[in-house]
Amino acid sequence: MPSIRLVDVLLERRILVCVGSGGVGKTTTAATLALAAARRGKRTLVLTIDPARRLANSLGLASLGHQVQEVDPALVRKGAPNANGQLFAMMLDQKMAFDEVVGKHAKDPAAVKRILANPVYAQISGSLAGAQEYAAMAKLHDFDQSGDYDLIVVDTPPTAHALDFLDAPKKLSEAIDSPAIDWFRKLQGEGGSRWSLVGKSGAFIIKRLAKFVGSKFINDLSVFFTEFNDILGGFRQRAEETFSLLRQPRVGFLLVASPEPMAVSEALAFHQRLKSAGMPFVGFVVNKIHQSRPIRVGAPQVEASLGVQPSIIGLGLSGTTRTMAAQALVTAHGEIETRALADQLAVAAMRTAGGPEAVLVEVPLQHEDVHDVDRLVALERFLLG
Ligand SMILES: Nc1ncnc2c1ncn2[C@@H]1O[C@H](COP(=O)(O)OP(=O)(O)OP(=O)(O)O)[C@@H](O)[C@H]1O
Ligand SMILES: [Mg+2]
């Protein structure tokens, strides 16, 4: 048994981040943990960046967007150990979060308006490397600073590279310093001809480009980069600082994994990556585990029981069919047992990697999708013990 229990982590830490590969159960885990904390009296926020409506559905919310919404207290508190908790949820809209960051860094409100209205902004805000992650982090930072919540549980999006955010500050700096951006910035030089600032070949390209896209667009570009320059400077300085929040001891990373071999090797690689990046790793949640239910009988006994229990499966089966059905059942059971054994090997690999300091919880594969509060509450006992 691990010495640290997830329930203690839940009650002590201020921010829990659920990371892991696609489809392993990050959203389900984040929702279950947030709900569990609220049911223990905490004022909890679950923050998702997942565009899927899964979280909203599971929490009984008709819709979920960039506004914090409270989950129906009656749902949260039903049968709860402590009836003073509250649960809030928000689905972060990365574009809106980015607009808010711009709003904070710009010189004045008029500049914010001009930038947000500039057509170039609409393009770049969605494609500047690392900017989306930074905007999400800035939002998390604000919530953390506000002191409005005892606990914030963060559900990360279904990306191919689950730990993209670790590289985000570097990517952002590289993007800001890229020759292309620098080049556009120089277009709007003070005084004189701006073409001269980009050199002869640059001026030629711009003139050719203007033929295609119109000189207004070229002008929008240069105006945008000049105004945006102050903001980019602010970004560079503050990105590292904002991301450093994740390394604080009041934060905890939970690696959600399923026991399939591919998912296990990915989880082990993520674990290494988190550790080498100095992130406060809490432990593994191994989700969708096949449970072993050994039977001490063979095909003949199963066949015999099919004969005496016609109301279940053996109804109307002839002798030969019953023999085949019994054999098929025993084979299917054997396959599940093999899966259960393989899943335990996967758990053991993660336990070894995490060491005695890490939390390790196993959540069995449920027969149905987990899509409402009652089912989330039912998962709580596996997560918290
Ligand atoms: N223990 C479980 N047993 C059965 N089904 C589960 C379990 N945990 C999660 N699921 C189901 O698996 C699916 C994926 O879960 P979830 O959305 O939480 O994963 P995710 O890691 O957030 O996925 P994505 O990477 O797409 O965001 C959902 O349909 C969910 O209901
Ligand atoms: Mg998800």
For 96-112, write each residue's pLDDT tens digit. 888 888 888 777 888 88
More confident residue, 172 or 371: 371
18 confidence band (pLDDT: 50, 70, 90): very high
* Beta carbon of 303 within 6 Å of any ligand 1 atom: no
Which protein residue's CA is at the shortest distance from atom 26 of ligand 1? 23
pLDDT for the residue numbered 174: 75
CA of 244 to the centre of ligand 2 (A): 24
Closest atom of ligand 1 to 21 CA is: 25
CATH of the domain at 353: 3.40.50.300
Task: Examine residue 268 and state whether it is found in any structural domain, yes or no.
Answer: yes
* % of the chain residues with pLDDT over 90: 41
Q: Which residue has the higher pLDDT, 304 or 377?
A: 377
Domain count, the chain: 1
pLDDT at site 190: 45
SS3 127: coil
Measured from the Cβ of residue 142, the count of other Cβ atoms closer than 10 Å reads 15
Q: Report if residue 261 sits inside a domain.
A: yes
Percentage above 70 pLDDT, the chain: 84
Query: Measured in angstroms, how far is the CA atom of residue 255 from the centroid of ligand 2?
Result: 13
Comparing 31 with 107, the larger pLDDT belongs to 31
Task: Name the residue of 24, 28, 163 to mutate for ligand 1: max ligand atoms within 8 A of Cβ.
Answer: 28
Region label for 130, one of left (φ > 0), alpha (ψ between -120 and 50) or beta (otherwise): left
227 is a domain residue? no
**Which two structure tokens, joined as six digits, stand for 88?**
């809030």
- Predicted confidence at residue 206, as pLDDT, reads 65
- pLDDT tier at 192, thresholds 50, 70, 90: very low
Domain housing 34: 6-102+135-166+246-292+340-384
Please report whether residue 221 resides in a domain: no
One-letter amino acid identity for 163? L
Could you tell me if residue 172 is inside a domain? no
Bigger pLDDT: 81 or 223? 81
Which parts of the chain fold into alpha helices (H)?
A: 6-12, 26-38, 54-58, 73-77, 94-105, 109-117, 119-125, 131-146, 164-176, 179-187, 194-197, 199-213, 215-243, 261-276, 299-308, 319-354, 373-384
Q: Is residue 77 part of a domain?
A: yes
Tell whether 30 is covered by a domain: yes
**Mean pLDDT of all residues belonging to the chain:** 84
pLDDT at 293: 86
Is 309 inside a domain boundary? no
